[in-house]
Structures are given as structure tokens and as C-alpha cells.
């Protein structure tokens, strides 16, 4: 039995630390380069395990050095890889991530065989054993097929489209939205999917297509969620960002785990926010905090807020 099955990409991440991003005819200094497993499905699965739950991943890699390395790394981190397909003669996808001194990133992606994961290659058995199915940045025919299986089996489904899929627009994505209990996307993806620059309007447009909950991840500006019975807007925790790669996947892992724990949506969003905040203070897409680290961080933030509240109250009384 597993708690969460993630479906999407496993990729090799090449993280290049630079002083600044180069422009045409200008050279930037490289401080360091590191290799490690990445891809939204792999990142979220690792996050789920780090937060204390069991996870499986369904994806496709090539039978090459990158494929061997990423599978070994993900498996070592406690993720079940029995649902991963391996294509002989295919190339494992990779992402080149440039990270400047401010923690900002530029990404160049080659999907390789990850986009060749076909609907018939989705393991019904793994989905049947899970409590929750998370689909991320995956070709739409396979995503819809996986979501149908999950809903037929009575499983909760979350879907994170990613920028490329979001650009397809609401009408083409209507079925996967309808099949999803939760749609997670960032502010830019929400705009590109719906045509609405205002993320509130975008979330309402997405909900009209059948999703129970729409969550708009706004990075350093916080998070917004819209459900049938509530509308929640939370600020981001203030931290020094080192690497924002995988922050959205960490958020997804935190949200899913917290909801599986039986938490209400607001508390689950706070937990997810804290998970993402801690992640961006570390270099690497899968350097995700543990449950204990997130809970300690939340207690510290609550204590800090109480101190600020007491100081504000005292100031008003004395003023």
C-alpha cells in the first residue's frame, strides 16, 4: 500500500550556479555545477516521502546513464519506482537550471522519452493501492487516462499542468480539470490557461470547469485557494531564497500530505507554504524538508507572530 502515486516526469537536473545571467555577447562566471534527479513527478514523490508518507512514481526514462542515475537516486530516497517504464535506445530527459546569486532561475529543458509515457503504460495496480494520485506536467492524453482510472477507483486527484500544458487553454483542458479534485498552478500558468490576468478571476474560471479546489501558487507573494465553501489568501513566509527549483513540487507534496493527515484546507496550505519556504533556502530540487523541520518552522513563525502582535498591542496602548 502506498499513500501517493505521482505521474509525470523523472529528469536529470544540471544545476549551474552563476554570478549573473549572461546576455548576448556577455560571459557569466560559473561558481559550481551539480547533477541530481529532478522532474515534477519525482520531486513531489520525494517530498511526500520526506514528509513521512509512502510514495510511488510512474514515469518513463531511457536506458542510459542519466536514466540509471536518476532512478538510483529516487529509489535511494525511498520512492517506489516499480511503475517507471524504461525505453531501450531512448534518451532520458534533462533540465539545465541556471541559478544566479539572488536565487532566481532560468531553465532549459529537454524532455526526452518522458513525454512518451503512453496511456496504456499507466499502472492501474499502483493507482488502486494508493490514497491519492498527483499528475504533474504530463502530456494530456496520458494525464486524462490516469485521472479517469483514479476517479473510477475512488481516489483523490491533484493536477499541476506546468507552463507548456497550461498554454493549451481551458477548453482543451476541460476534461482533466473536471476529473481533478485539486488543480495547482502558478500565477502565470493561471493567466495563460484562462486569459485572465487577475488570479482571482482565473481561479473562478477554472472552478467552473469542475475542479473542487483551485490553488494558485504566487511564489514570494503567497498562495490563493478557491473552493466551493471558502476563499483563502495567505502570505508567503519571508526567507532568503537560494534556489527556487522544485518549490512548487515541494508545495504540492506538503499540501497532499497535510490533507491526507486530515487537516482543513487553510492549515494544509500553511503547511505547504512552509514546506516550499524551507525548500527555497536550499540548493537542489529534491532537498526538501522533513515533517519535523516544517513543524518546527511553523512553531517558530507562530511564536514570532505572537511577539509582533504583543509589541503592536503595547505600542497602541502607550500611544
Residue-wise pLDDT tens digits, 174-223: 999 999 999 999 999 999 999 999 999 999 999 999 999 999 999 889 99
> Which phi-psi region, left, alpha or beta, contains residue 219 (left: φ > 0; alpha: ψ -120 to 50)?
left
Which of 212, 210, 238 is CA-nearest to residue 225?
212
249 among known catalytic residues:
yes
Q: Of 302 and 48, which is predicted with more confidence?
A: 48
Euclidean distance between CA atoms 317 and 249, whole angstroms: 44
Euclidean distance between CA atoms 38 and 272, whole angstroms: 19
pLDDT surpassing 60 at residue 128: yes
Identified catalytic residue from 13, 80, 160, 249: 249
pLDDT surpassing 70 at residue 315: no
| Residue 306 φ then ψ, to 5° | -65, -40
pLDDT digits 0-9 by tens, 133-148: 999 999 999 999 999 9
Q: What is the mean pLDDT of residues 250-274?
A: 97
Name 172's Cβ contacts closer than 8 Å, sequence gap at least 6. Answer: 140
User: Would you state the pLDDT for residue 285?
Assistant: 73
Burial of 243 (0-12, 13-18, 19+ CB in 10 A): buried
Cell of 28: 557569466
Euclidean distance between CA atoms 132 and 259, whole angstroms: 10
In the structure, what pLDDT confidence band is assigned to residue 314 with cuts at 50, 70 and 90? low
In the structure, what pLDDT confidence band is assigned to residue 57 with cuts at 50, 70 and 90? very high
Domains of the chain are: 4-300 (3.40.1190.20)
Q: What is the largest CA-CA distance in the chain?
A: 74
Which of 4, 1, 45 is CA-nearest to residue 260?
4
Burial of 302 (0-12, 13-18, 19+ CB in 10 A): exposed
Q: Assess contact for 55 and 45: CB atoms under 8 A.
A: yes
pLDDT digits 0-9 by tens, 60-70: 999 999 999 99
- Round the average pLDDT of the chain to a whole number and report it: 93
Q: What percent of the chain has pLDDT over 90?
A: 83
Element (H, E) at 251: helix 247-260
In the structure, what pLDDT confidence band is assigned to residue 312 with cuts at 50, 70 and 90? low
In the structure, what pLDDT confidence band is assigned to residue 283 with cuts at 50, 70 and 90? confident
Which of 157, 171, 144, 129 is CA-nearest to residue 252?
157
pLDDT surpassing 80 at residue 49: yes
Amino acid at each position: 500500500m502506498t499513500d501517493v502515486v505521482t505521474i509525470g516526469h523523472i529528469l536529470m537536473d544540471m544545476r549551474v550556479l552563476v554570478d549573473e545571467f549572461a546576455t548576448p555577447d556577455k560571459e557569466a562566471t560559473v561558481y559550481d555545477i551539480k547533477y541530481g534527479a529532478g522532474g515534477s513527478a519525482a520531486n513531489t514523490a520525494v517530498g511526500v516521502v520526506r514528509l513521512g508518507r509512502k510514495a510511488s512514481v510512474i514515469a518513463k526514462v531511457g536506458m542510459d546513464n542519466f536514466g540509471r542515475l536518476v532512478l538510483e537516486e529516487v529509489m535511494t530516497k525511498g520512492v517506489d519506482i516499480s511503475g517507471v517504464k524504461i525505453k531501450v535506445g531512448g534518451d532520458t530527459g534533462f533540465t539545465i537550471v541556471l541559478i544566479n546569486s539572488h536565487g532566481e532561475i532560468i531553465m532549459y529543458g529537454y524532455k526526452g522519452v518522458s513525454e512518451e509515457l503512453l496511456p496504456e503504460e499507466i499502472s492501474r495496480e499502483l493507482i488502486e493501492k494508493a490514497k491519492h494520485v498527483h499528475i504533474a506536467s504530463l502530456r494530456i492524453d496520458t494525464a486524462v487516462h490516469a485521472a479517469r482510472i483514479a476517479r473510477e477507483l475512488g481516489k483523490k486527484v491533484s493536477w499541476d499542468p506546468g507552463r507548456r500544458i497550461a498554454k493549451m487553454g481551458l477548453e482543451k483542458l476541460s476534461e482533466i480539470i473536471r476529473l481533478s479534485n485539486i488543480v495547482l498552478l502558478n500565477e502565470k500558468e493561471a493567466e495563460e490557461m484562462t486569459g485572465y490576468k487577475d488570479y482571482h478571476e482565473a481561479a473562478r474560471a477554472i472552478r467552473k470547469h469542475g475542479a473542487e479546489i483551485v490553488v494558485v501558487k504566487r511564489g514570494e507573494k503567497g498562495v490563493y485557494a478557491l473552493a466551493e465553501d471558502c476563499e483563502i489568501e495567505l502570505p508567503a513566509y519571508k526567507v532568503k531564497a537560494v534556489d527556487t527549483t522544485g518549490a512548487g513540487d515541494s508545495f504540492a507534496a506538503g499540501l497532499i500530505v497535510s490533507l491526507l493527515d486530515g487537516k482543513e484546507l487553510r492549515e494544509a496550505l500553511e503547511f505547504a507554504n512552509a514546506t516550499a519556504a524551507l525548500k527555497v533556502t536550499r540548493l537542489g530540487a529534491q532537498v526538501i524538508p522533513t515533517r519535523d523541520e516544517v513543524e518546527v518552522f511553523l512553531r517558530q513563525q507562530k511564536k514570532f507572530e505572537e511577539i509582533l502582535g504583543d509589541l503592536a498591542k503595547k505600542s497602541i496602548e502607550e500611544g
